[in-house]
Structure 1
Amino acid sequence: MGLKEAKRYIQELHKKQDNPFLWPNYLTGLPDRQAVLKKLDSVYPKIGSYGIAFVRIGNIHPYLLKYGYNRHSELIQWAAAILKTSCKGVRGSFVGTVGTHDFLLIAPAKRLDSLLSASDRLFRKKAMQFYNETDRSRGYIFSFKDDSGSNVKVGLMKLISYVIKEKPEVEKLNLIPYLERLCREKEAEEQKSPQ
């Protein structure tokens, strides 16, 4: 699994996009929210054997503010392609689209963390090509002082995920919004203390 496989996935996706009815999500080629909900029906009782990760493209909004929307679709496709090709080698895994910059990944619990780590590493590598040399070298796109007077640096794009490997104390119907909220909180925390 690597960037070559992800690129091949995007090339195949572009061929199939000629007929949008072949794909649930036209932009990514991944199953859409309805398909994700159907998959959750079968996996929810097996949480423990399987883990579920809500994955989002972190720091994409600051990127769009600075660089514009010209490559927005391309960024989303790369994130989807990297997640999809990473899952391809893991039996029982699944990835679908649940929002513009959001994905749900399901995989055997033992493999989930390494799958997410490898996907994030590849996405960060690819995302570097979307920045100018100055931003790449300093590792952030802009900085500002917050209300408390602390200096905040807005970092580069990455994949942020929130993972569950045990049954949560939330109904299946509310699982995606629950995971999304926790993932966004994690992203906000990481923004306060960038790595």
Structure 2
Amino acid sequence: MFKKKILVIDDTEFMIKLISDILENAEYEVIKAFSGAEGLLKVRSEKPDLVILDIVMPGMNGFEVCKILRDDESNNLMPIIMLTAQDNEEDKLKGLELGADDYITKPFNPRELISRVRNTLKRIDRNRWANPLTGLRGNIEIQSEINSRIARKELFAVLYIDLDNFKAYNDVYGFASGDRAIKLTADILHDTVKLFGSGKDFIGHIGGDDFVIITIPEQSENIAEAIIEDFDRKILDLYEEKDKKRGYIITTDRLGNHMKFPLISVSVAIVTNEFRILFSSLQVSEIAAEVKKKAKDILGSVYVKDKRKG
């Protein structure tokens, strides 16, 4: 497994050694720079996962370095933790305004340094893998979550949520309205899990109109029913009155033929290891594809739970 790479920019050898020793003991790879100019070169050549940046340095100070880094869009997702010897509110505010993610005041506790570094990296990783529209975690984290529950031999249920007739809606109402439907779905999933979930549930966005919820088996059907009820009520707000009244929309194909499509509904496929042993996230997704096909063959919003054994 690759170690996270951290660049420490400070003009004092003592402080760099102190920080390096703490981070290396915590299994991080440390790169050192003794000036702002050297630090900027190291950012370009080493591509660190995080920068710890001292504010008070001769020549180019930490604020100037932070501004230069943040002005370059390629560094947007690289977190910066500012380091200052003064418990000065103005310094902290200026650093945050320039785009710093956090700050540490010297002298600091080694445990505090590690906690701030770890939490910042975790937050940035979540942002990096999150869907930009919904803020939900994507495929890599979905697979990891399923595989980790399998490894821990936990009983779990995975709900695969898919919107029916979404493409037709997107074609007629436009991409902006399509995005609103996707965001509405994400909000419904979040609210439903908050009300009916186990407290340790996971919500993910595979992409497009496909979502995932990982929960405990005994809550899976309650969650599915609540999603359907809430979705069928709220999705109507995204339609014009004429389409709501007739219960369908009309679109035109490439040959100019008019086609009727029902309003968007939601299909939920539930896969669980209650009745059979599941070995991987790939196996779970393959079973879900079969179950989802059955759900989508039924008109309207519906859920289907796989209860096959073996």
The interval holding the TM-score normalised by the smaller chain is 0.7 to 0.9
Letter in 1 for 2:142: V
The 2-side partners of 1:55 and 1:184 are apart by 12
- TM-superposed CA distance for 1:46, in Å, is 7.2
Distance 1:173 1:157, change over 3 A: same
Letter in 2 for 1:133: E
- Structure 2 length normalisation: TM-score? 0.47
Match among 25, 30, 35 for residue 131 of structure 2? 25
Letter in 2 for 1:87: V
Distance 1:47 1:126, change over 3 A: farther
Distance 1:180 1:27, change over 3 A: farther
Are the aligned partners of 1:82 and 1:122 in contact in 2 as well (CA < 8 Å)?
A: yes
Match among 215, 230, 247 for residue 139 of structure 1? 247
Match among 258, 265, 268 for residue 161 of structure 1? 268
Asked whether 1:74 is paired with 2:180, we answer yes
Asked whether 1:85 is paired with 2:191, we answer yes
- TM-superposed CA distance for 1:112, in Å, is 1.0
Partner of 2:59: none
Q: State the Cα deviation string for residues 159-188 of structure 1 (Å, max 9, x = none).
A: 21111223377753242254245424531x
Are the aligned partners of 2:172 and 2:251 in contact in 1 as well (CA < 8 Å)?
A: no
- TM-superposed CA distance for 1:125, in Å, is 1.6
Letter in 2 for 1:68: G
Match of 2:227, SS? helix
Match of 2:159, SS? strand
The 2-side partners of 1:52 and 1:139 are apart by 31
The 1-side partners of 2:301 and 2:131 are apart by 32
Match of 1:41, SS? helix
Are the aligned partners of 1:57 and 1:101 in contact in 2 as well (CA < 8 Å)?
A: yes
The 2-side partners of 1:63 and 1:51 are apart by 30
Letter in 2 for 1:156: L
Q: 5 Å matches for 1:94-173?
A: 94-142=202-250, 154-166=261-273, 167=276, 171-173=280-282
The 2-side partners of 1:26 and 1:168 are apart by 34
Q: State the Cα deviation string for residues 55-104 of structure 1 (Å, max 9, x = none).
A: 11221111112222221211111101110121123222211011211011
Distance 1:70 1:172, change over 3 A: closer
The 1-side partners of 2:203 and 2:159 are apart by 9
Q: 5 Å matches for 1:9-20?
A: none
**The structure with more helix, counted as a fraction of residues:** 1
Higher relative contact order (CA 8 A, sep 6+): 1
The 1-side partners of 2:265 and 2:154 are apart by 26
CA RMSD of aligned residues (A): 3.1
- TM-superposed CA distance for 1:47, in Å, is 8.1
Distance 1:50 1:175, change over 3 A: closer
Q: Percent identity?
A: 20
Q: State the Cα deviation string for residues 101-143 of structure 1 (Å, max 9, x = none).
A: 1011111111111111111221222210111212212222249
Partner of 1:63: 169
Unaligned runs of 5+ in 1: 1-18, 145-151
Partner of 2:149: 43
Distance 1:169 1:31, change over 3 A: closer
The 2-side partners of 1:181 and 1:194 are apart by 17
